[in-house]
């Protein structure tokens, strides 16, 4: 407790800190998605839902070691619990 029996200040989570909100703002942009198994995909973020399932279009799978394209997909659906991270500022 702080002086005068007031509760200590807590950092309030704002809407801008919400990962889902950040992903929703990135729809239409090129993103990099790394899966928990280490695979990387680059594509245009087409959709994301509340479970953070992701749909990429014009998607490319990148080689783990060289980051060179390995496979191309027209559209790829990734289940949210398989995602390690999403780079919404990907420049490639």
Do the Cβ atoms of 41 and 57 come closer than 8 Å? no
SS3 (DSSP) at 24: helix
Rounded Cα gap, residues 15 and 18, in angstroms: 5
pTM: 0.80
Question: How high is the pLDDT of residue 13?
Answer: 53
Q: Is 33 exposed, middle or buried (0-12, 13-18, 19+ CB in 10 A)?
A: buried
Rounded Cα gap, residues 28 and 30, in angstroms: 7
pLDDT in tens, 36-92: 999 999 999 999 999 999 999 999 999 999 999 999 999 999 999 999 999 999 997
């Amino acid at each position: 407790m702080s002086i005068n029996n007031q509760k200590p200040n807590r950092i309030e989570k704002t809407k801008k800190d919400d990962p889902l909100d950040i992903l929703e703002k990135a729809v239409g942009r090129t993103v990099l998605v790394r899966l928990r198994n280490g695979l990387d995909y680059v594509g245009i973020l087409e959709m994301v839902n509340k479970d953070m399932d992701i749909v990429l279009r014009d998607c490319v799978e990148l080689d783990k070691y060289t980051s060179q394209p390995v496979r191309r997909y027209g559209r790829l659906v990734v289940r949210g619990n398989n995602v390690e991270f999403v780079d919404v500022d990907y420049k490639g």
